[in-house]
Amino acid sequence: MQIVRTLNLLNYFGRSTLRGDLLGGLTAAIVSLPMALTFGVASGAGAEAGIFGAILVGLFAAVFGGTPTLISEPTGPMTVVMATVVTTLIAANPEKGLAMAFTVVMMAGVFQIIFGTLKLGRYITQMPYSVISGFMSGIGLILIIIQLAPFTGSAAPPGGVVGTLTDLPAILGRINPVEFFLGVLTLAILLFTPKRFTRLIPPHLIALVAVSLVSVWFFSGNAIQRIGEISIGLPTIVLPEFTAAETTIMIIDAMVLGMLGCIDSMLTSVIADNLTRTEHKSDKELIGQGIGNIMSGLFGGLPGAGATMGTVVNIQGGAKSAFSGVFRVAFLLIAVFGASGLIEQIPLAVLAGIAIRVGMNILDWSFIKRSHRISLQSTGVMFAVMSLTVFVDLIVAVGVGVFIANIITIDKLSRSQEKNIKAISDMDDATPLTRDEKELLQAAKGQVLMVYLSGPMIFGVAKALSREHAQIAEHKAFIIDLSDVSMLDDTISLAIENAIKEAVELDKAVFLVVTSDVTREKLARLQIDELIGTDHITASRTIALQKATASLSS
């Protein structure tokens, strides 16, 4: 029974899933190997870091995560951030910079566990699509730009994107023809290999093996930058390193890395749900990703997240349970330990070609191609976020993008909701009243002002409500009708309080129509009942009109 319970923890693995999990894991491992090597080199931490990241994040996220078929490994977006972290920390502290970078990975994992524990999983991806699109496209551009130097056979200049673009004329002036040819050949294979072949073997593996063989057979006498010797063995523990001067930077980098990993994983989990007709557990997945990244950073591996390509091929291979991720790790270990000598011969230009293709795939082409058909505001937000991501900072890009997009959304919603605030005093207005209520209002002969609100009332419409204050002085009784309000935020509650206070100061009879218990409690906390008296608060618009009409003769 204990064994059964243990297997159930791994998402109901059984004989019926064995074949599919094995095939899915094998296929995912074939896809993972070239990507792990590519991202390891691109990050600046080395090919070993990419391999350890693919193994450790993949294993622990599969065992502890909440999406059975999700494949977790280093991804393009995570690698871009990690490359910045590695470069910054090594420049600030050459001796301990790399250890500090892996500490950032561990800290990112801790943040992810906190997000999962606080049950924030479902909120992680709730940001405007224009922001996500611009952010991901910016990351794609960064990945392409920083690979231009190794793609052409040059040494990467310092300064990341800006440094590469500044040094671009010099980079183009010192192109190594052989390495440039290998890079172009890699891209050509990735772009033009017929689908009937790529269905059987991932194009990244085809390019990696084929072009590496070409480099060995035909260009062995040329000076080509290769991966070189890699120490594939049991990983050594990288103890956390902190310095007081860099702690704040490390925490911020860890938050960015952790949040990006959450977004990446949650989006991929949704894709997995659509393919498998299941529903993942967001918070459990975040905790699993956090554990995976802590273990990866502890043993010198890259940070990882749910990877779309690996997840899709895993599911297409027949995977049903988390054991597919465990099998993928086993296949990776066999491949890496058995072929470490061959891996050393892979040219860096080949990995640069693969990375450039990944960057091209990250770009949100569907949005970019249709940007002229989408609203100018959304397009502006998307390209602004993309530019800020590339040239300024990832945090600034997301922060500014979310702020602007939310302001635009609030403005649109407020304009729409302003129409749901109606000041009614006679029968010339389009009124949502019953026949009896219309007769009561007509009998008041314009001396009763009723302000009718409906739908969700957010702070953006407070100004529209305030505009109705001017009419209060022209009437003897004032009714605020909230019977059709579905949600009332604090700002509108305070605006209602101000309107009631103004009416009371003008010695007007004030009545309130409230049907929602939540709204009634919110207004009670503002002591509205003490301002107008509990007998002036009713759940019936008809009764409120009757009382208002009766107050005219008193």
Range from 238-242, 348-352, 546-550 carrying the lowest mean pLDDT = 238-242
Residues 6 or more apart whose CB falls under 8 angstroms from that of 165 comprise 145
DSSP-based three-state secondary structure for 527: coil
- The neighbour count for residue 542, using CB atoms within 10 Å, is 14
Instruction: Give the Cα separation of 406 and 400 in Å (integer).
Output: 10
| CA-to-CA separations, 517 to 432, 512, 543, in angstroms, rounded | 22, 13, 18
Instruction: Give the Cα separation of 126 and 373 in Å (integer).
Output: 23
The token duo for 456 is 């969700």
Q: What is the pTM of this model?
A: 0.75
Write out pLDDT tens, residues 173-194.
888 889 999 999 999 998 888 8
Instruction: Give the Cα separation of 410 and 417 in Å (integer).
Output: 10
The pLDDT value recorded for residue 450 is 84
- pLDDT bin (cut points 50, 70, 90) of residue 229 is low
The pLDDT value recorded for residue 206 is 85
Taking 90 as the threshold, does the pLDDT of residue 134 lie above it?
Answer: no
The token duo for 17 is 């899933």
The pLDDT value recorded for residue 460 is 63
* Closest to 36 measured CA to CA, from 1, 82, 92, 69: 82
Range from 98-112, 283-297, 340-354 carrying the lowest mean pLDDT = 340-354
Taking 90 as the threshold, does the pLDDT of residue 295 lie above it?
Answer: yes
Taking 60 as the threshold, does the pLDDT of residue 4 lie above it?
Answer: no
Domains and CATH numbers, the chain: 26-363 (no CATH), 419-551 (3.30.750.24)
- pLDDT bin (cut points 50, 70, 90) of residue 59 is very high
The token duo for 268 is 């991929």
Instruction: Give the Cα separation of 403 and 13 in Å (integer).
Output: 44
Taking 70 as the threshold, does the pLDDT of residue 258 lie above it?
Answer: yes
Instruction: Give the Cα separation of 460 and 410 in Å (integer).
Output: 6
Range from 199-213, 284-298, 435-449, 455-469 carrying the lowest mean pLDDT = 455-469
* Closest to 128 measured CA to CA, from 505, 392, 382: 382
Yes or no: say if 483 and 541 are a contact pair by the CB < 8 Å rule: yes
The pLDDT value recorded for residue 401 is 84
Q: Work out the burial of residue 452: count CB atoms within 10 Å of its CB; fewer than 13 is exposed, 13-18 middle, 19 or more buried.
A: buried
Yes or no: say if 205 and 30 are a contact pair by the CB < 8 Å rule: yes
- The neighbour count for residue 75, using CB atoms within 10 Å, is 29
Look at 10 and 391; give whichever has higher pLDDT: 391
- The neighbour count for residue 404, using CB atoms within 10 Å, is 18
